[in-house]
Structure 1
Amino acid sequence: MAAPKPVYFDEEEDEEEQNPGAFMWMEGDSLAPPCQSDRDVVSKIVDIARVTPNDVLFDLGCGDGRICIEAAKRFGARARGVEIEEFLIKRFRELIVANDLQQLVSVSHGDLLAEDLSEATAIVTYLLPDALDQLTPKFTKLLSQTDKDVRIICNTWGIPGLIPDERHDAGPYGNVPLFVYKSSGRHGASKEQAEELRQT
């Protein structure tokens, strides 16, 4: 039987209202780009994260929560989003109710850099390089665990200094790189190695 499809806002409303302040955005203002991931990219992320009902997925800079909603609705995973923009949190909470996912999905209004990730088994980011650089020590510690299966999926920009275990291309034109890091067999990357893999 096919997994239930998540309820989202309609496409036209999604385009017009997903970020009313995006036109004023300047680099350095935020830890994340001023846009949501397209829905086909969202589906690809959740697929390659290989989430199950036993997982706890965190989306750092979750926007309207579409990745959390997808993971919970399709696979029964618990999911938690972290977001700073209040209008996006409001939309996220509306989607949680519309999908009847109050028991599985929650959102935290706060600083994603300070979020406790100890419960996470899957982490999703769509963050700018400066933010990923600040999170690298925390991510490296999580990935060094040998008694826990942790996956980190980075949209567009990867974790500085680490070689991804997998790379996937998403989006209608295959132009959105997704980097997957796993807790088993971690190894450091030189800047040259990491840059070469990002460009392949």
Structure 2
Amino acid sequence: MSTLPIPFALIEDHPDLRAAMSEYLCAQPEFRCVLIAESVEDFLAALPGLPEPPTLVLSDIELPGRTGIEGVRIIRQRLPEAQVLMLSVYTDAARVVEAIAAGAVGYLVKSTPLPQLKEGLLQVAAGGSPMSPAVARHIIECFRPTQAAGNGAEALTVREQEVVHWVEQGLSAKLIATKLFISVDTVRNHIRAIYRKLEVNSKGELLALTMRRRN
């Protein structure tokens, strides 16, 4: 993705929270704040006048006017290179599925401490997909071997479960390879096998599967 500092934008309608996040994140040397907006509409209106577009966006979901999820779709159309990390008070699977399907690359709860929020953004910049533990727990359940076998699907191997664990933690294929002392190509082969066994084709479908199994 972008070299440091990363052109960064924030969309948050709550004044106090917006001030706290922008004050902290804009002071970090890894980020160059190019836009702070309180709505999707304000964000889009300001884009043409920016000296450079953001490549990393942190957006709330519950916003006045267009929702953050609607905003992700538009941002991805206007700025194909931009990566959007969603922020919300909600952890329900349906909302996470919708956000990921719209184009978000990660999903954190608003109670995430600012240093961890920064770390999540840096994970996104490195190719990861961070998710708060409260959200991730819903996802990991669908990978349990007993559940897979019970649904007539082929069970995941121990190594595949390890890969799933690190995917759930938001790590990129390269970082997973480092963690497991295997090649990036091997990680990708495991991910393809996981998708095949669970009969999904993307993270969005994976989240949808989780939601259905928990209902």
Normalised to the residue count of structure 2, the TM-score between the two structures is 0.37
Normalised to the residue count of structure 1, the TM-score between the two structures is 0.39
Find the structure with the greater CA-based Rg: 2
State the structure with bigger RCO (CA 8 A, min sep 6), 1 or 2: 1
